[in-house]
Amino acid sequence: MPIAPPPLSQDLLEWYDRHARTLPWRVPPQARAAGIMPDPYRVWLSEIMLQQTTVATVKSYFARFVNRWPGVTDLAEAPEAEVLGAWAGLGYYARARNLHACARTVATEHGGAFPTTAATLRALPGIGEYTSAAIAAIAFDEPAAVVDGNVERVVSRLFAIETPLPAGKKEIRIRTGELTPDLRPGDFAQAMMDLGATICTPTRPGCILCPIRPHCRAAAEGRPEVFPVKKPKAEVPSRRGAAFVAIRPGDGAVWLRKRATTGMLGGMSEPPSSNWNARSDGELGTTAAPFPAGWQACGTVLHGFTHFKLALDVYRADIEHDPPGAGWWSPPEAWDGEALPTLMRKVLAAAAPATR
DNA sequence: CATACGTGGGG
DNA sequence: TCCCCAAGTAT
């Protein structure tokens, strides 16, 4: 009587028991086995931060957030401007606005406790298909299909899925659901992601070290790197604009204003800047200045976004009186706490290098 | 289904 | 320098 080989999930979980990454928001498998479950607030916060963002980048932000706002109610009570200020530099700022809105919803409509199922989590702002499944699995051990970029890669290789992403995602989700065990689904989800992050990597995957290689069709065919097949991406256009840094001579404070709530860098702070237009027209010059002053050119900041490249001409001027329009003076020692995106920090560095 | 939406690190 | 990509979501 032949003995059935272990299922994929068992092989993976045994590997995870020995090789799980140690992460600030994670309860290790041995502790989970002893009945310790993670704080849903920390799971949620980490998942939002990790959307399209590397673990290395997230760690310091996560530490600052949980130190400053230990629970979801603390975060809900914070002014949005403070949350945006703490998020500055992480990118995708809609995440921060949704994070705050979600905290307030949990505090006011759920009594300060996160919903416990993927379906109910899915209704909260900033929580989509992936994040709802991840929180449900990791914080509440619901056997939900958790499909992030790592899992897309692992599963597309396991089954040698030829359908290019994003169309192939449907089949990947179905396959992931079939692989997900009823026992330890939270560890299984984290194990899949750890495997994708450390062994089943985009280039040069370490198939020799892979605990589920015997289950993998792409490895058997000797072509793991061709998966996942992806649709070619469009080329990114260029845009150009101008930023105007008004400086108060006395203390070196700069004049900032708040950007529109929606759109690029929504809700974040900036020195007044023009619209960013298609780059055919060359330098805008001071015609786009928000008010007349002795504007002096001080270089061009280049910044790459996901869907376009930006060249931002920077001008500076010493201003004694308050400029027209809404805004505030921000001295250099206050810049750390301002909701300044990285682009705008580059602008300030170009305009006021002496104060940095 | 396609597009908008940041940033930093690695090859 | 440039391209890819990293625990995606909203519209």
Would the Cβ of A165 be found within 7 angstroms of any atom in strand B? no
Residue A270 lies in a domain: yes
In this prediction, residue A355 carries a pLDDT of 46
- Calculate the angstrom distance between C1' of B3 and CA of A307: 9
- Calculate the angstrom distance between C1' of B10 and CA of A53: 14
Would the Cβ of A48 be found within 7 angstroms of any atom in strand B? no
Q: Are residues A96 and A243 in the same domain?
A: no
Would the Cβ of A303 be found within 7 angstroms of any atom in strand B? yes
Would the Cβ of A51 be found within 7 angstroms of any atom in strand C? yes
How many domains, in total, are found in chain A? 3
Question: Could you tell me how many helices (H) and strands (E) chain A has, helices first?
Answer: 14, 7
Residue keyed to tokens 């065919």: A221
Angle CA A26–A27–A32, to nearest 5: 150
Q: Over the Cα atoms of chain A, what is R_g?
A: 24
Sign of CA dihedral A312, A318, A323, A327: positive
Hey, is A184 helix, strand or coil? coil
> Strand B: which of residues 208-267 in chain A lie with Cβ below 7 A?
231, 234, 263-266
DSSP A34: T
Residue A25 lies in a domain: no
**Closest nucleotide to the alpha carbon of A170, via C1':** B1
- Rounded to an integer, what distance in angstroms lies between the CA atom of residue A167 and that of residue A249? 57
Q: Between the CA atoms of A9, A12, A17 and A18, what dihedral angle is there, to the nearest 10 degrees?
A: 160
Q: Are residues A48 and A92 in the same domain?
A: yes
Q: Domain boundary at A180, A214, A232, which?
A: A232
CATH number of the domain that residue A63 is part of: 1.10.340.30
- Rounded to an integer, what distance in angstroms lies between the CA atom of residue A64 and that of residue A273? 30
Examine the residue annotation and report whether A283 is marked as an active-site residue of this protein.
Answer: no
- Rounded to an integer, what distance in angstroms lies between the CA atom of residue A76 and that of residue A82? 11
- Rounded to an integer, what distance in angstroms lies between the CA atom of residue A51 and that of residue A48? 6
Q: Domain boundary at A108, A140, A172, which?
A: A140
Q: Are residues A86 and A98 in the same domain?
A: yes
- Calculate the angstrom distance between C1' of C5 and CA of A202: 9
- Rounded to an integer, what distance in angstroms lies between the CA atom of residue A308 and that of residue A275? 14
Q: How far is CA A9 from CA A177, A181, A188, A189, A221, in A?
A: 12, 7, 7, 10, 22
Q: Are residues A5 and A75 in the same domain?
A: no
Residue A75 lies in a domain: yes
Please list the alpha-helical segments (H only) found in A51-184: 55-68, 72-77, 80-87, 94-109, 118-121, 129-140, 149-158, 169-179
- Calculate the angstrom distance between C1' of C4 and CA of A334: 35
Residue A20 lies in a domain: no
Find and list the nucleotides of strand B having atoms within 7 Å of a protein beta carbon: 1-9, 11
- Torsion region of A48: left, alpha or beta (phi above 0 gives left; psi -120 to 50 gives alpha): alpha
Q: Closest CA to B8 C1' — which residue?
A: A57
CATH number of the domain that residue A167 is part of: 1.10.1670.10
- Rounded to an integer, what distance in angstroms lies between the CA atom of residue A186 and that of residue A32? 9
**Closest nucleotide to the alpha carbon of A26, via C1':** C7
Q: What is the pLDDT along chain A (356 residues), one digit of tens a residue?
A: 667 767 999 999 999 999 999 999 999 999 999 999 999 999 999 999 999 999 999 999 999 999 999 999 999 999 999 999 999 999 999 999 999 999 999 999 999 999 999 999 999 999 999 999 999 999 999 999 999 999 999 999 999 999 999 999 999 999 999 999 999 999 999 999 999 999 999 999 999 999 999 999 999 999 999 999 998 888 889 999 999 999 999 999 999 999 999 999 999 999 999 989 876 556 777 888 999 999 999 999 999 998 999 999 999 999 989 999 999 999 999 999 999 999 999 999 999 865 43
Task: Classify burial at A192, counting beta carbons within 10 Å of its beta carbon; exposed 0-12, middle 13-18, buried 19 or more.
Answer: buried
DSSP secondary structure letters along A186-237: HHHHHHHHHHHHHTS-SSS--GGG-TTGGG-HHHHTT-GGG-S-BPPPPPPP
| Owning domain of residue A53 | 38-140
Nearest CA to A154 out of A208, A183, A194, A209 is that of A194
In this prediction, residue A281 carries a pLDDT of 57
In this prediction, residue A356 carries a pLDDT of 39
Structure tokens at A256: 């900032």
- Calculate the angstrom distance between C1' of B5 and CA of A104: 23
Q: Domain boundary at A103, A123, A140, which?
A: A140
